[in-house]
Chains A and B, each alone.
Chain A
């Protein structure tokens, strides 16, 4: 029987939850990483290792690694720094593990790579030369909580191709391992002035279908959008959702037309509308949306879900998982039909990833 592993990054360290393929009963372990704030924690199916991008207020940023599902941990930041004296690395924000290497995104915006399992790091790209990039390091553009590179998305079949989100700027694609980049924001909406046509979009979360690499979805600051050409162009599919704002999203592992988002109030609160927790699902590529709330709290549930805090597994009937910024973790083992709370009192959850271990 397969095992199901959830890797959860929180404001106070990394936690693991393990279950079998029924995904009904969960055993929690942690906290790991000495309680450092973990921005993103991932599982590498090739090596079996867990990586956690963490930034301590006292001791700076490091990437933690456990080769044995949390039994032991090491950490390193060797090489995680900018040579340019004016450019400061305030945190490591996001991880991507593929093709035998680890990529980590940082603030100020930059992407570092490790080819030795996270022991040492070298700067791969700062996306220098992209429109407006000369002011990305301006402190006025780096408010507290800024993530810089907020997400990295690998291509499973092409090592040199991947996507990066620069927070508040947009999506960029490279096909030559970071040497050159192309903005991939055509068709997106922005309700604010933008000095450059191709950038200035606030992309919160980008996901790609596992069965059709040209099909992508994104939750944006202003709307949900779909691409049918690998991100070259986007069409808005917000109509039918209770809010255009949200962070988290997940794409069905076997059906390219099924996609989940967690709409939130767009103001400063950024919590579930009306205090009623719900995930919204489309089964037709965004033409229509259904509210999925069975098992989720429907009264006084003023919870938020951050951009990396939703994930899905790859079982035939996929499971979905999301964590709140106030430490509740919810799971569905039936493709989003019904939900249950599988952890109630974790620290604020930054990220949720899931792996199926055979």
Chain B
């Protein structure tokens, strides 16, 4: 994962409460300032090569979260 080395003690898996993907990223950003800039670009929107899935469906910032939703944040595999 390309994100976790950027923020000390950011775990690969975390449980939190949030009504949307956007709010979940806000929650992460409150604990690890700067996370939002690494996942989102001005707009705001999720960065082009970062994919977010909610319960295995491709999601956007305004995608709602249900109790016990699973959110996966994946950096696209590319480059060399």
Contact = CB atoms under 8 A, between A and B. Distances in A.
A57 B34 contact: no
B17 interface: no
B37 A77 contact: yes
A57 B5 contact: no
A59 B34 CA distance: 11
A80 B50 CA distance: 19
Contacts, number: 44
A57 B50 CA distance: 10
Nearest to B33: A78
Main secondary structure of the interface of B (DSSP, over half): loop
Main secondary structure of the interface of A (DSSP, over half): loop
Interface string A21-62: 000000000000010000000000000000000001111101
A88 B38 CA distance: 15
A57 B78 contact: yes
Given A34-B5, A34-B6, A81-B42, A57 B37 contact: no
Contact of B6 (A75, A81, A82, A85): A75
Given A56-B2, A62-B38, 9 more contacts: A34-B2, A57-B78, A58-B47, A59-B39, A59-B75, A60-B41, A60-B47, A85-B42, A85-B43
Interface of B: 2-3, 5-6, 33-34, 37-39, 41-43, 47, 49-50, 75-76, 78-79
22 contacts: A57-B78, A58-B49, A58-B50, A58-B75, A58-B76, A59-B38, A59-B39, A59-B50, A59-B75, A60-B38, A60-B41, A62-B38, A75-B6, A75-B34, A78-B34, A80-B37, A81-B42, A82-B42, A85-B42, A85-B43, A88-B42, A89-B42
